[in-house]
Structure formats: C-alpha cells, structure tokens
A and B are shown apart, each in its own frame.
Chain A
Amino acid sequence: MIKSRNKWVPYLFLLPGVLLFLAIGIYSVGFSIMLSFYNWSGIDFSTARFEGLANFRQFLLGDDPIVTRNFYNAVLHNLVIAVSQVVVVVPIALVLAFVLQNTKAASWYRTIYFLPMIASGVAIFYVWKGLFEPTGAFNSLFLWLGLDFLAVPGGMLGSSSTSLLGIILTSIWGGLPGTLILYYAGLTSIDPTLYEAASVDGAKKSTMIMKITWPLLKPITLIAVIQMVNGAFQAFENVFIMTGGGPAGSSEVIGTLVYRTAFLNNDYGLASAIGWVSFLITGVIAIFSIRSFQADI
C-alpha cells in the first residue's frame, strides 16, 4: 500500500460507488428510520403524523394484539427455518463431501449437485409449489409408500400444520449444494502430507478426522452457518411464491409481514418499525458475518 502523490486519486476511484450509496443507501436507511416513528399511509409525506414509539409498542408490546402475534410468529418461523436448515444441511453436506471426495466420477456428480444452487429462484419455487399440490408428487409418493397419514389432503402447503415444513424442505434443497461444494473444496485443499505424517505417527483414521480434518474445516462451517442463518432471516421469495405466508399466517416470515404491512395495508410507519426491529435481530447474527468479511485493510 502506498500514499498517492496526488491525494485526490484514491478518492476519485471511490466516487461512483459512494455517490450511488449516498443517493440510494444512506437516503433509504435514514428515511426508513425516521418513518418508523411516524404514522403514514403513503403518497404525500405532509399527511404523516409523528407518533414516537407507538409503532414499536403496537407490535412489540401488544398494543395491537393481532400485529403482535403476527410479528412474534414471523420471527419464530424465521428462526425455525434457520435452525432446521443448519441442523440438517451441515451433517448431510459433510457426509456427502466425504463420500464425493475419493470418487472417480466426482465432477459429474458435482455438476448435477450444482443445479439447485444456481437455478433456485421464482421459477423453481413454482415447481415446488406444483410438487406440493394436493395431487402432486409428494402426496402421491406418501400414498404409494403407504404413509397415508403424511399425505395432507390440501397438500403440504395448504395446511397450517405443514406449510412451514414445505418451506423448510425447499430451503434445504436449495441450500445443501452450496455447503456441500464448500466442504468439498475444503476437503480437497487439505495437504495430504498432514495425513501421511499422522499415519506415520500411528494415528487412527477417526483421530485424523477429529484432529486434522474437522479443525481445518471449521472456518468453512462458520461461513456456511452464517450464510444459512442470514439467508433464512432474509427469506422472502420462496414464502411469497409458495404460500404467501399462509394459510392463516402459518408460514409468515418477517419479509412477507413487512411487505404486506407496507404495500398491501399501506401502513408504512409500522412496516418500517418492524423492519428495524428485525434488523436488530439479524444484526447480532450479521456481526459475525462482518467478522468473517474482515479483510486486513
């Protein structure tokens, strides 16, 4: 790193990005913080009324019982999606990466495993919606297996007891490949001489896994977990397309709640307040992501 002779040069390189950030990022963040203290139904801001903490009390402390219930349910659902994803994806991804490691056709398998990761989007969420239909693949599979009690008559997404499960299954399907490929890349980049040295010292295979492989994969696990939790708390598209948060709010997440409050109920102040509280929740998680993004500059 150097000190430029012309001291404006480094700033010139920053200019386009910073201008965009000021015009879009800073303005939006500032205005939405302000909005969270107002009652406003949109269009003309002169109709907005300052209300202090009323919005926050409304959904946090039960001033409006329905909104409060919706909010805590949504947070809970985000949490359930995050935890279930981590708990299911990490072990499966690890095992699959191990199995894949010494396989001849690894590149073929990898190509296939890669598909869900890149193609996941609105189109694929519609496919899942179709598979979850009452007469769709899941119900047919359960009936064929004789597991009739699992075949929900309205389809997995149509019942309030299973709709979240449908969302979770889709998230796992979409999230597993990324973690698997990370672990695979990690495993193949471990120096084989480490294992050789250990076996010369008479280490057992299980010892090697615990003492060499797992510690070296730790940073990958951390990153994978952070990505999954962050992703789960920012979930929107999958829920919006597949269930719209229903039935009866059974799959509502923060994203869909804010969207509905703002753009369907036109309660912009309340929506902003909910958004910022969810920001504080994700903030705790995201502090970890910042640390993993710490480049030494």
Chain B
Amino acid sequence: MVKLIKHVVLVLYGLTCLYPFVWMIGTSLKTSQDALANPQSPFPQAAPAWSTFGEVWNKLNFYQFFVNSVIVSAVVIVGVILIYTMMAFSFAKFIYRGKKFIYYMFIALLLVPGVTTLIPLYINMTNLGLQNTYVGMILPMINGAAPFAIFLFTSYFRTISHELYESAVLDGCDNFKIYYRIYLPLALPAIGTIAILNFIGSWNNILWPMIIVDSRDMFTLPMGLMYLDSSSFKKWNELMAGALITVIPILVAFPFMQKMYVKGMTVGSVKM
C-alpha cells in the first residue's frame, strides 16, 4: 500500500514534468484550424500536420538560426573550458603574489547581475565593431561563465595528487605539458559538467543576442522563436513547431547530459 502511494506520488510529479513537452509536441502537429479551435488539447484532433515543421524551417530560415546557435554554443563551450582550466591550473598548483585577489575578483563576478552591465557591454561591443558578429555574441558569454567554471575546475584540480605533478617534472615535463597531458584529461568529469551547463546556458540565451544582433542572418534559435511570436495573430502550431526545433538538440544530448550534470552538481555541492 505504501509502495503504491509512493508510485502514485512519483508518477503524478512525473506527469507535471512531462505535460508541457507533450502539449508542445501535440500542438506542433495540429493544423492551424485545430490549434485555434482546441488550444487546450495536448493532442491533435485531426491527422498530424507534419508539414508545419517544413514551413517553419523554410519560411523563417530556421536552418540559418540553427547553424548560428550551434556555432555560438560550440565556441562558447570550447572557450570556457580552455581559458578557465588554464586559470584553475594556475590557482590550484602555484603559490604567487596576487593569487587570492584575482581568484576572488573572478568569483565576485557572480554578484553582478547581468542586466546591470548590459548597457556598457553593448556600447563596448558596438565600438569594437562587433555588432552582428559571432565574436560579439560569444566573448561576453565566455566571460559570464567565468565564476562557476573557475570555482569548479580549481576545486577539481586540487583533488589531483601532487605526486603526479612531481613525477612529471622529474620526467622532464614543463608546466604546459603537465597541464594538457595530465590535468586536462583527468578533469574530464568537471569539464563535462561545465560543457553541459554552458551548452544549456548559451543555447537558451536570449537577452544578450537580442541586444547585440539585429540582422536576421545572425539570429539564434530562441530569437527565431520570438520572431515567430511577433506576428499579430498567434499561430500556436507554428510557434510550437519552432519551439520543438529549438529544444530537440537539448533532448538528443539528454542521456549524456543527465549523467554528467548530476556528477558535477555533486562535485560542487555535496561535500560529505
């Protein structure tokens, strides 16, 4: 009996987690009339209208949005991992002047709400001629990822035995070699976590791209969605088809992400 109640509770909560996705998929398969007449239903009343996907994909140049999103997210992930593993290596391995100051300066970035520095950031990037460019979108996202990435990588590197470092030095390795031959491969779980966090973050980011980009060729997927929404009368089937296209890459990477994400969250917070 207790067992049954347990599962009822778990299933009920599971349904609330799933329902929005079911409605999204169902609505994307409705015809325009169906979406208008039965907005509350999670299932199409008529035969699924697969053509909506093609229409949205072509009409709005979703292919270009998709490519832009992939480029931005990929470069952000690589940049964050390279730049901040290097910094973390320095923080975790060496004693030198100014270390604490620099470390806490980066962690303090966490304090500043993104929206506060938005205006100067925009002016800065425009002055550098980076409006409507990938670089203009990417650099601030990398910088914004600094606090958590540095924190996680530094804590992780500190758990790696110092003897490994010493024996590598005895074998004639210099510091850069030690960094990318030993520390980088050993930090893969932490790297995975940061990669996922930043994939989700940059893939879903809307505020910054919306400000720095006004040319439609440079739109990312969420911006494409907002563009779909801007038509005077809302076509929920089209909007949901666009939403599904936006979410699919995240769902595809889902099984892998789940494992890494939980691992990383535990590295960061469950210290028992």
Q: What's the least CB distance linking B42 to chain A, in Å?
A: 7
Tell me if A220 and B270 are in contact (CB < 8 A).
yes
Residues of A within 8 A of B89 (CB): 13
Asked whether A13 lies within 8 Å of B247 as measured between CB atoms, the reply is no
Confirm or deny: A50 has a beta carbon within 8 angstroms of a beta carbon on chain B.
no
Residue of B nearest to A296 (CB): B158
A259 and B115 contact, CB distance less than 8 A:
yes
- Interface residues on chain A, number (Cβ under 8 Å): 99
Given A122-B204, A237-B207, decide whether A1 and B115 contact each other with a Cβ distance below 8 A. no
**Contacts of A96-117 to chain B: CB distance below 8 A:** 96, 99-100, 103, 109-117
In contact, A24 and B17 (Cβ under 8 angstroms)? no
| Cα separation A263 to B103 with both chains bound (whole Å) | 33
Residues from chain B with Cβ under 8 Å of A259 in the complex: 115, 118, 207
Of A62-70, A83-91, A160-168, A274-282, the one touching chain B: A274-282
Q: Is the CB of B40 within 8 A of A137?
A: yes
**B5 — nearest CB in chain A belongs to which residue?**
A99
**A145 proximal to B (CB < 8 A):** no
In the complex, are the beta carbons of A279 and B111 less than 8 A apart? yes
| Distance in angstroms between the alpha carbons of A120 and B146 in the assembled complex | 22
- In the complex, the answer to whether A121 meets B204 with C-beta atoms within 8 Å is yes
Task: State which of A25, A120, A139, A236 has its C-beta within 8 Å of the C-beta of B40.
Answer: A139
B44 at the interface (CB under 8 A from A): no
Interface residues of A in 143-168 (CB under 8 A from B): none
CB < 8 Å neighbour of B17 from A16, A112, A255: A112
Asked if B124 contacts A182 (CB within 8 A), the reply is no
Q: Give bound CA distance, A29 to B247, whole Å.
A: 33
Residues of A near B102 (CB, < 8 A) are: 14, 18
Q: Which of B53-61, B185-193, B261-269 lines the interface with chain A?
A: B261-269
**What A residues does B140 contact at CB under 8 A?**
24
Would you give the shortest CB distance from A170 to chain B, in whole angstroms? 9
Q: Tell me if B's interface is mostly helix, strand, loop or mixed.
A: helix
Residues of chain B within 8 A (CB-CB) of A236 are 114-115, 207
Q: Is the CB of A121 within 8 A of B222?
A: yes
Instruction: Please tell me if the beta carbons of A113 and B13 are within 8 angstroms of each other in the complex.
Output: yes
State which residues 192-234 of B face A: CB under 8 Å: 196, 200, 203-204, 206-207, 211, 221-222, 225-226, 229
Could you give, for residues 1-26 of chain B, a 1 whenever the CB lies within 8 Å of some chain A CB and a 0 otherwise? 00000110110011011111101100
Residues in chain B near residue A27, CB distance under 8 A: 120, 124
Query: Which chain A positions have C-beta within 8 A of B94?
Result: 1-4, 9-10
Contacts of A135 in B (CB 8 A): 39-40
Q: With a CB–CB cut-off of 8 A, which chain B residues contact A14?
A: 86-87, 90, 102
A10 to B42 Cα, complex, angstroms: 57
A-B contact pairs, 15 of them (CB 8 A): A29-B112, A103-B6, A121-B222, A123-B222, A123-B243, A133-B39, A137-B40, A178-B265, A182-B269, A189-B266, A216-B272, A255-B115, A258-B118, A262-B118, A293-B107
Interface residues of A (CB under 8 A from B): 1-4, 7, 9-11, 13-14, 16-18, 20-21, 23-25, 27-32, 35, 96, 99-100, 103, 109-124, 126-128, 130-131, 133, 135-137, 139-140, 173, 177-178, 181-182, 185-186, 189-190, 216, 219-220, 223, 233-234, 236-237, 240-241, 254-255, 258-259, 262-263, 268, 271-272, 275-276, 278-279, 282-283, 286-287, 289-290, 292-293, 295-297
Q: Considering the complex of A and B, which 8 residue pairs feature the smallest CB-CB distances, nearest first?
A: A121-B204, A275-B116, A13-B90, A122-B222, A31-B120, A123-B243, A28-B117, A140-B40
What residues make up the interface of B, taking CB atoms closer than 8 Å to A? Answer: 6-7, 9-10, 13-14, 16-21, 23-24, 27, 39-40, 42, 82-84, 86-87, 89-96, 99-100, 102-121, 123-124, 139-140, 142-143, 146-147, 150-151, 154-155, 158, 162, 165, 175, 179, 196, 200, 203-204, 206-207, 211, 221-222, 225-226, 229, 236, 239-240, 242-244, 246-247, 250-251, 254-255, 257-258, 261-262, 265-266, 269-272
